[in-house]
Amino acid sequence: MPPISLDPQQARATASVFDGGKGSIEGELSRMMSSVSEVTSTWSGQSRQQFESRWEEWSQRLRTMMDELQNLANGLRREAEEFESVDRSFNA
C-alpha cells in the first residue's frame, strides 16, 4: 500500500484559493442580481416570467455550487489539521 501524505500548507493554500473563488463568484452573483432586478423592473409579460424562472433555477444551482466549493475548502482544512495532529503525536 502506498504511503499516505499531504502537505498541510499546500492544502490550506488551496482552501484559501477556493475561498477567494467563492468570494469572487458571490460578488459577481450580487452584481448580476442587481442587473436582473433593474431589467425586470421595466419588463412585463410571459417572457419576463420565463426569464425569472430560468434565472432563479440557474442562480440556485450556482449557490449550491458555492456551498460545495466551501465544503471542499473546509475538507482540505480538516485534512491538513488531521495530518498535522498525527505528525505531532509521532513526534511527541
pTM given for the model: 0.83
* Domain chopping of the chain, boundaries: 9-38+46-91
Residue 4 has a pLDDT of 81
Q: What does the DSSP assignment read for the chain?
A: -PPP---HHHHHHHHHHHHHHHHHHHHHHHHHHHHHHHHHHT--SHHHHHHHHHHHHHHHHHHHHHHHHHHHHHHHHHHHHHHHHHHHHHH-
Does the pLDDT at position 24 exceed 90? yes
Residue 22 has a pLDDT of 97
Residue 89 has a pLDDT of 79
Residue-wise pLDDT for 32-58, tens only, equals 999 999 999 999 999 999 999 999 999
